[in-house]
């Protein structure tokens, strides 16, 4: 097996994509697939690191997204990105309404570089890792 994508439930494909594009370095976008069989719309977004996100939104009923979106749970735990521009990235996240879940902390696993977790408006968590 090999990694394919990270799935994120959103209430609306276009709104979800517009928000994510402000935070993360996406370069490729698939078409939007409206899957009547599954009751969802999906779109794939690929970032600079070739990591693929699948955003999934309700399309028809029944669908697997509504209860998850209502509860705000299991949308995604977190994804992590490394950056040499830690302070500016953190500022940009805050400017887009992402809420820091802690103060930046040094992490042993990352050679004591700083990490911070942000809760995004789409109710999933992004970890920012300082890359010195």
Domains, in order of start, for the chain: 1-70 (3.10.180.10), 77-132 (3.10.180.10)
112 vs 2: which has the higher pLDDT: 112
Full-model pTM: 0.73
Q: Where are the beta strands (DSSP E) in the chain?
A: 6-9, 26-29, 33-35, 40-47, 52-58, 78-83, 99-100, 105-107, 113-119, 125-130
Considering only 5-14, 31-40, 71-80, which range has the smallest mean pLDDT? Answer: 71-80
């Amino acid at each position: 097996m090999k990694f394919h994508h990270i799935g994120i439930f959103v209430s609306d494909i276009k709104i979800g994509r517009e928000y994510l594009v402000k935070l993360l370095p996406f370069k490729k976008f698939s078409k939007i697939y409206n899957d009547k069989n599954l009751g969802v719309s999906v779109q794939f977004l690929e970032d600079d690191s070739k990591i693929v996100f699948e955003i999934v939104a309700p399309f028809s009923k029944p669908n697997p997204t509504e209860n998850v979106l209502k509860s705000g749970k299991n949308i995604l735990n977190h994804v992590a990105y490394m950056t040499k521009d830690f302070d500016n990235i953190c500022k940009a996240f805050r400017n887009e309404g992402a809420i820091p879940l802690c103060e930046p902390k040094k992490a042993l696993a990352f050679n004591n570089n700083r990490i911070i977790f942000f809760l995004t408006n789409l109710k999933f968590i992004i970890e920012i890792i300082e890359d010195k």
